[in-house]
Amino acid sequence: MFNQDITPYQNLSILILVSFAFQSILMPLLLSEIDGPVGWMTIIIAAVVLYFSLRPINKLLLKYKDDSFLSISNKIFPKLISRAIGIYYIIMFLIANSILMKDFAEQIKLMMLFRTPLGSIIIVILLTASYATKKGIKTIANISAITILIAFIPYIFIMIFSTYYADYSNVFPIYPADVEGVLKSVPGAILGFFGFTILLFSNSKVTVQENNRSINKKFILFSTVLYVACYLMIIVKFGIKESVHLVWPFISVMKYVNIPGFFFESTEIVGLCFQIIVTFSCICIIAYFTNIAMQETFKTREDGFFIYMQIPILYFMAAVLPGMYMMFPYIQWPIIILSGLNLFIPLIAVLVDAKFKKVKNN
């Protein structure tokens, strides 16, 4: 059930969707940390760093093409270090999924289910996502590919039409740029490319793994273009002074859509429906790879039961955590730590593998 393969372009859809979900959550942080409309510079710097980091990582993943990153770590690191790496990825995936779930549930409560307790919304999301995740990576990949077509692309088009009466002069002035703010916000932008971490686990599930190198690079390029375009769209629509106060910029954009012949009374609800599909797919993806991380860390044969272990953990974490808009003033250092670990752990593994190979040859 869990040993199913996916196509390279299904893998690409998974990476783009997951990154878009976290870019949406972290967008207010990018808007508020930089003085002026130059956050796109931060995104490009982050993309360049990840793009060049991918080259050695791609070689490592292709060398051990039947193994995920944790299986590779078990081969090249001592047992204690490889176990610590596995536990880190398990905790990181759980935290990321709980934050995504909490933010998602708060949007649904605010826009649709006003009187429903937040805990009830979270448990429904969890049970539904658990059922989909239990079906395996093939089902999740199919959901992701369909989501790109029926929800993600229309969602982007609705946001584009929302800029019809926008003020394009809001993207200026570029000079003088807030260099300190741009560099300070790079870790958050790197964390927004969350697919970079997912590909360490998903590449081993791809049928034609020789295509992973080009698919991974396309993912960085597509996500960068999308990230920059969404940032500029928000700046164009609201201006930098108003943008820094937005909690959910993408939902706010939906209030001002002008599509000829569009007959829905509330474009916010239409946009939220598309976002529900996108976010639900991302929750399933992260839950699945949390299972894989648990399986390979604790060396179990079957990881299906780990899905049910995640339900109480995710519910408790999502219920206890405050909303992202409340955490923004306090998460600068956690973001720096998480983005640094997500970037440097695979690069350190590349160096250790190269040293291991050199010693073996000697």
| Structure tokens belonging to residue 104 | 């998602």
Predicted pLDDT at 257: 65
Buried b (16+ CB within 10 A) or exposed e, 5-38: ebbbebbbbbbbbbbbbbbbbbbbbbbbbbebbb
Burial of residue 52 (CB within 10 Å: 0-12, 13-18, 19+) is exposed
User: Alpha carbon of 216 to those of 193, 196, 197, 200, 279: distances in Å?
Assistant: 12, 8, 11, 10, 21
The answer to whether the beta carbons of residues 93 and 290 sit under 8 Å apart is yes
Q: What pLDDT is recorded for position 256?
A: 67
Residues 6+ apart with CB under 8 A from 269: 111, 112
> Which of 173, 133, 182, 160 has its CA nearest to residue 290?
133
Look at the chain and count its residues.
362
* Predicted local confidence at residue 1, as pLDDT: 44
Q: What is the pTM of this model?
A: 0.89
Show the tokens assigned to 31.
């808007």
Question: In tens digits, what is the pLDDT along the chain, a chain of 362 residues?
Answer: 445 688 888 899 999 989 988 988 888 888 888 777 788 889 999 999 999 999 999 989 888 888 889 999 988 898 899 999 999 999 999 999 998 888 888 888 887 788 888 888 888 888 888 888 888 888 888 888 888 877 777 767 766 776 666 667 777 767 777 788 888 889 989 999 999 999 999 888 888 877 888 889 999 999 999 888 888 888 888 777 877 777 777 777 777 666 666 666 666 777 777 778 888 889 999 999 998 898 888 887 655 667 778 888 888 888 887 766 677 777 888 888 999 999 999 999 999 988 876 666 65
Q: How far is CA 77 from CA 64, 196, 218, 344, 357, in A?
A: 14, 21, 30, 15, 13
Distances (CA, A) of 285 to 217, 288, 291, 348, 353: 20, 5, 10, 26, 28
How is residue 274 written in tokens? 């598309």
Transcribe 184-210 into DSSP letters: HTHHHHHHH-THHHHHHHHGGGBSSGG
Spatial separation of the C-alpha atoms in residues 331 and 341, rounded to whole Å? 15
Query: What's residue 90's pLDDT?
Result: 93
At residue 8, the pLDDT reads 87
Tell me, what DSSP letter sits at residue 235?
Answer: H
The answer to whether 126 touches 280, Cβ cutoff 8 Å, is no
